[in-house]
Chains A and B, each alone.
Chain A
Amino acid sequence: MSSASPPMPDALSVRAHQFENVEQQHEASWLGMWVFLATEVMFFGGMFTGYAFYRSGYPGAFAAGSNRLDVLLGAINTAVLIASSFTMALAVHAAQQGRRRAIVNCLLLTMLLGTVFLGIKSYEYYEKFVEHLVPGWNFSFEAPFERTAEIFFSFYFAMTGMHALHMIIGIVLLAVIALKARRGRFSAEYYTPVELSGLYWHFVDLVWIFLFPLLYLVGRHL
């Protein structure tokens, strides 16, 4: 922490009264966001641990279940999400330089890519429904995994569902930030909300980076 740095002038009078200066306020926001992301690591970590536990118990069922997922769609979605992270990084970069129009454009592009991801995901969910692969409701699987493959698909829907929920929240968040950017609420001195939304978006990308191989690829070869 650079506590010795000289106080900066308050940009756009965005400083809350409990902070010495905007620099200190930014440090607090940045660290607060990282603490939140650490709790998010634990939240998704619980599901990843459960996945590891059951997969070690039923490797055959997990492989058979995984083989019913569409690797091509999964890989395309991974590329789409990585591209959205790239445009998000560019949005923060534009914010650092105070380029208002570029922030808005990059955020809109990020939201568009996020929506494409959710569209492809919805289509995959639809396919799973048609193929009777929705656990507890509409499930049938070939022997000998007719019961145990249901565990794999429970993890599939819980993990990708929670991930998709995070994406939806992220897109709403970015819409709010883009609107604020359009109204000129950010400058090269003050862009904390853009930066922190970026951290959130990249985190959601991180989760998918692990979900893709663990769900889509594990079944090909044990």
Chain B
Amino acid sequence: MSSGAHITVRSYIVVFLILLGLTALTTGVAFIDLGAGLNNVAALVIAVLKALLVILYFMHVRTSDRFTWVIAGAGFFWLLILMGGTIDDLVTRNLLPGEMQMTP
């Protein structure tokens, strides 16, 4: 069950400002060469942080019961299986010699 009634307008404003700040940050960081694929990591970490803020505060999950946490988490868990399985296939295709050889 949700209520979100304990979340004040002040916290919504703070979350809103942090989200705007993170948007500026991710845009700025994209133009700096961090090297070694770190730009990807930085972009994704910031996106996950923003997503968490939206889910926890705007979507009231922070003040919701465990059942809501399980259902919200399940969506992302299934997504992890989908992506994990696909990426796993992609990176291991050419490990073994034989007919399965493919070029991307």
Chain A residues with a Cβ under 8 A of chain B: 1-2, 23, 26-27, 30-31, 34-35, 37-42, 45-46, 48-49, 52-53, 56-58, 71, 75, 78-79, 82-83, 85-86, 88-90, 92-93, 96, 195, 198-199, 202-203, 205-206, 209-210, 212-214, 217-218, 220-222
Contact = CB atoms under 8 A, between A and B. Distances in A.
Interface of B: 1-5, 7, 9, 12-13, 15-16, 19-20, 23-24, 26-27, 30-35, 37, 39-40, 43-44, 46-47, 50-51, 54-55, 57-59, 65, 67-68, 71-72, 74-76, 78-79, 82-83, 86-87, 90, 104
A217 B26 contact: yes
Contact of A82 (B16, B37, B59): B16
Shortest Cβ-Cβ A-B pairs, 7 listed: A38-B75, A57-B104, A41-B75, A217-B30, A213-B43, A86-B16, A45-B79
Contacts of A2: 1, 65
Given A52-B86, A82-B19, A202-B58, A31 B30 contact: no
A196 to B, nearest CB: 10
B11 to A, nearest CB: 10
7 contacts: A23-B1, A85-B16, A86-B16, A195-B2, A213-B47, A217-B27, A221-B33
Given A86-B12, A202-B58, A210-B47, A218 B23 contact: no
Given A38-B78, A218-B40, A221-B39, A53 B86 contact: yes
Most B C-beta atoms less than 10 A away, residue of A2, A49, A58, A96: A49
A206 B31 contact: no
